[in-house]
Chains A and B, each alone.
Chain A
Amino acid sequence: MSSVSIQQLGVRMGAANILEALDLSVHEGEFLVLLGPSGCGKSTLLHSIAGLIDVDAGSIHIGGQDVTWADPKDRSIGMVFQSYALYPTMNVERNMSFGLRVAGLPKQEISRRVERASKMLQLDQLLSRKPSQLSGGQRQRVAIGRALVREAQVFLFDEPLSNLDAKLRTELRRELKQLHRELGATMIYVTHDQVEAMTLASRVAVMRGGHIQQIGAPGEVYAKPANMFVAGFLGSPTMNFIRGRLGEVSRTGVRFHAGAFEATLPHEVFVNRPPLNAEVVLGVRPEHITLMPASEASPGAQVTLVEPMGSHQVVWLDMQGQRIAASINLPEPPELGSSTGVVMDLTRACAFNPATQERL
């Protein structure tokens, strides 16, 4: 049984359909990340799970109970917001205990829960501070603590790390993952940051235009994207797309032509039977490209730009009119303007239908 199950959900705002006939089930104890560009409906989906907006169609079940029309407080959820949303006039302790006091819990129970959460998040020294006396990272910890003390079945996170600087973001990301392992609770996490999605998720749901494009384990979504949008959204720099045409089929694979560039695509690239002589888009990840000294065997390319990343370099190439990014790790990056040979690991490439953008 799934912890959160959403059926045929529809949300409208004025004339615009934000979500339409959306199905999603989140398993017990899972860390599900909703990933997508802004305006894709991921926050709307989260808010409708939380009960902060009214839905127009469909149903939402949490822990087997129909909560489609339940009040937010009766859904057994805890939520963390991007802007922290701490109550400015209350100190940390009262911020965390507000919900428990509203629920009328006995005093000992409240202080037990607050103590436990503040220990977990290293907030025990800060309990009497006001939010304005805390740093960004501390504020977000308090916001997480406020969700924790509710001992909810499901925790919802709405871009919780977006307001933090890069270093703190990495730190809190690790802490969140640790927290999920300790609690084992179901978590739904909204973000537009693919790194957060890849590192935190048990499963990622990539969204666009109010629809879930693909849902699966992060590695699977990354390696086998369902369409060009998912392929392009995950990974940095993004996947290289090379437009071309399929040729004759042999035992080793299918021939692929893109201008002067020719290659043989192994059969495992294709999910379905490849359409013959059709236009296709070949998708190759930058890290699956290696550079070789220019020779007859490999297609040649010019180096147009090198971005040193510290641990690796991103090399931008002009391969017979196609702009290609390669992520390589060489002691000496290639010189600008030099020509180089390109070797692609085509067993890990993807092919897409240029018209439907779906994977072939």
Chain B
Amino acid sequence: MSAVIHTPGMPTALPAARRPRSLLRPARIGIYAFLIVSAAFFLLPLYVMLITSVKPMEEIRLGHLFALPMKMTLEPWAQAWFTVCTGLQCEGIRGGFWNSVSIVVPSTIVSIFFGALNGYALSFWRPKFGNGMFLVLLMGAFVPYQVVMFPLVRAFATMSLFGTLPGIVLIHTIFGMPVMTLLFRNYYTTVPRELFMAARIDGGGFWRIFMQLMLPMSLPIIVVAIIMQVTGIWNDFILGLVFAGREHLPMTVQLNNVINTTTGERLYNVNMAATLLTSLVPLLIYLVSGRWFVRGIAAGAVKG
């Protein structure tokens, strides 16, 4: 930015004076110092995890937590992926990775579809008691999981959905519904109502307007919803532990098993590698979609 000050006596031919831009002004130094310290504070655990995961156990036993590895090895990563024991089996956490993928993908798609459908119906078709239903749905966002856990287990057992893949997908869809509905409802209220009216006159029905008009228009908010749902469901522990069943335990639950089963020495490097592997998906999403992610958080501000 340049500020030009014209003093009456000054020759106008002079080039516009630029404000001196020195990086070494005290305020600047303060800001950068603060930023660097906070970045270091938050990056430190990651740094420790990363270097520990590539150290052999002999080096870890020395206890130099922050020291760079003298002999780098990828052995712990391979162990974590292929051979580490998650409970009774010792096949690594790769099984958990694929379990998580097979939970996250359908859960994300189904919950976004129904969230969008709810939001669309609520903001354009305005059913009777729609606002009341929406309020009840929103209250669902504030109900702690622990309260509904046992009734849900009983209900799912009766429907023989307990411990199945469709069961855990349904659970994630249900718990995602309040926030997804809110997200899409708020998005659709910004769409001019005349657009909906025009489509009605053109003969569009409930489903055609939704599938051919509203969904294609919703791409920006769908991206936000995908980010929220994928990170949320990937990081879930308690629902996966309770509802997924032994066959579909997500990666987070298996990671917990890895770290908590100790037979003999604690393999810190393998634990660190397994943890990093587990957090890889959310981490990637953070890195790839920073801008969208912030939007997602702002949009879903009701729920942390």
A contacts, CB < 8 Å to B: 47, 50-52, 71-73, 77-79, 81-83, 85-89, 98-99, 102-103, 143, 146, 150, 158
Contacts and interface: CB of A to CB of B under 8 A. Distances in A.
Contacts of A81: 194, 197-198
Task: Give 9 nearest A-B pairs by CB, closest first.
Answer: A99-B202, A73-B203, A85-B194, A85-B198, A102-B203, A81-B194, A89-B216, A85-B195, A72-B201
Interface string B198-226: 11111110001000110011000000000
A86 B198 CA distance: 8
A90 to B, nearest CB: 8
B255 to A, nearest CB: 42
Nearest to B192: A83
Contact of B213 (A78, A89, A158): A89
B202 A73 contact: yes
B143 to A, nearest CB: 32
A51 B200 CA distance: 9
Contacts of A85: 192, 194-195, 197-198
Contact of A79 (B198, B203, B217): B198
Nearest to A94: B212
A99 B203 contact: yes
- The SS class assigned to the B binding surface is helix
Nearest to A89: B216
Contact of A77 (B192, B201, B204): B201
Nearest to A149: B202
6 contacts: A50-B201, A52-B197, A81-B198, A82-B194, A98-B212, A146-B202
A102 B195 contact: no
Chain A CB within 10 Å — which of B195, B198, B203 has the most?
B198
B217 A50 contact: no
Interface of B: 192, 194-195, 197-204, 208, 212-213, 216-217
A47 B217 CA distance: 25
A81 B199 CA distance: 12
Contacts of A88: 217
Nearest to A152: B201
B194 to A, nearest CB: 4
Nearest to B195: A85
A83 B199 CA distance: 14
A73 B208 CA distance: 14
B194 A83 contact: yes
Contacts of A98: 199, 202, 204, 212
Chain A CB within 10 Å — which of B192, B201, B212, B213 has the most?
B201
Nearest to B197: A52
Contacts of A47: 197
Given A102-B204, A102-B208, A87 B192 contact: no
Contacts of A52: 197, 200-201
Given A85-B192, A98-B204, A103-B203, 10 more contacts: A50-B201, A71-B203, A72-B203, A73-B203, A79-B201, A81-B194, A87-B213, A89-B213, A89-B217, A99-B201
B201 A87 contact: no
A114 to B, nearest CB: 13
B56 to A, nearest CB: 56
B173 to A, nearest CB: 26
Contact of A72 (B194, B200, B212): B200
Nearest to A98: B202
B207 to A, nearest CB: 11
A189 to B, nearest CB: 16
Chain B CB within 10 Å — which of A52, A73, A78, A87 has the most?
A87
A73 B217 contact: no
Contacts of B203: 71-73, 99, 102-103
A78 B217 contact: no
A73 B192 CA distance: 20
A50 B192 contact: no
A143 B201 CA distance: 12
